[in-house]
Amino acid sequence: MKKDKNKYPRGWDAARVKKVLDHYENQTEDEAVQEYEAAWNDQSVTFMPIPHALVPKVRKLIAAKSAT
């Protein structure tokens, strides 16, 4: 068996990545639209434009908050 040389975030592994890829690669256009609209209408989430240069810092803040 070949060793997986990929580095995954905590809680992720090759099987989880494959499951996510399978989900999106096999999703119909209608299913994708429904998923997008459900996310957009989720009142517990905020969407906002973030300058590309700030994305790494925002990701770190989210990761820190998620770890607590």
Within 8 A by CB and 6+ apart from 4, the residues are: 13, 14
45 lies in some domain: yes
31 lies in some domain: yes
Amino acid in the structure at residue 21: L
Residue 1 CA to residue 9 CA, distance in Å, equals 22
In eight-state DSSP terms, residue 52 is G
Domain that holds residue 34: 14-67
- pTM of the full predicted structure? 0.60
**pLDDT tens digits, the chain, 68 residues: what are they?**
678 889 998 899 999 999 999 999 999 999 999 999 999 999 998 999 999 999 999 999 998 988 77
9 lies in some domain: no
